[in-house]
Amino acid sequence: MQRDGINLPNLYVGLVHYPVYNKRGNIVCTAVTNLDIHDIARCAKTFGVQVGYIINPLDSQKTLVKRIIHHWTEGAGALYNPARKQALERIQVRTTLKEVIEEISEAHHTPVKTVATDARWQRRTVSYRKMHELLCDRPQPYLLVLGTGWGLAREVLEESDYILAPIEGTFTYNHLSVRSAAAVILDRLVGNRQRGGTENGFHRNN
């Protein structure tokens, strides 16, 4: 895939609402938020992500997402804000992470590599620099998996091919919104370095 003559990886994003943890450590299904849909869409458009998947098993939540997408891509919102239309066209809704993985793998005729995210350091954590190199060197598809609530369930982390290093700020506070984290992560992984994108060398070595 190319953008302005620049080769981009076959990168996808999945925003997972189940299975994730709540603050008590229980596995739950979180509710979709309107802000997440819009901001993940804008991140996807900005950084050349092929599709941003909103993953939620509840029919009521999937219906809500579809209504929002329709409003901004085919309804009155498409005329009111054409730029938002372009972004929301990259969003799709699916029931499970497994469904998304199978869909991407089938489209590319090769298994997709999953890149999970977590706010804590894990034994298999890889740096942004390493993941950037993998994305640039390998033509196969990658799926960046973002968790809502208090993070992805352990089973998702264990089944992923990679676990990306957590975002660390200046202090110990570590509660970025998922849409803020998505923007930071995508800039570090695929931001245009020649046009001011963040360098990905200021992170802990693995």
pLDDT above 90 for 169? no
Cβ 43 vs Cβ 49: under 8 Å: yes
pLDDT of residue 123: 86
Cβ 11 vs Cβ 48: under 8 Å: yes
pLDDT above 70 for 206? no
Give Dmax over CA atoms of the chain in angstroms.
Answer: 49
CA angle 167, 145, 48 (to 5 degrees): 85
Q: Set out the domains of the chain in order of their start, with CATH numbers.
A: 2-195 (3.40.1280.10)
pLDDT of residue 205: 35
As a whole number of angstroms, the distance between CA 60 and CA 79 comes to 27
Burial class (CB in 10 A: 0-12, 13-18, 19+), 100: buried
Q: Please enumerate in sequence order all residues whose Cβ is within 8 A of that of 146, keeping only pairs 6 or more positions apart, or say none.
A: 13, 14, 15, 16, 40, 117, 178, 181, 182
DSSP letter, residue 76: H
Total-model pTM: 0.90
Cβ 19 vs Cβ 148: under 8 Å: no
If you count DSSP H runs as helices and E runs as strands, how many of each does the chain have, helices first? 8, 11
Mean pLDDT of the chain: 90
Q: Dig out the tokens for 200 from the structure.
A: 């990905």
Going by pLDDT thresholds of 50, 70 and 90, the confidence category of residue 88 is: very high
For helices 178-190 and 128-137, give the axis angle rounded to 10 degrees. 60
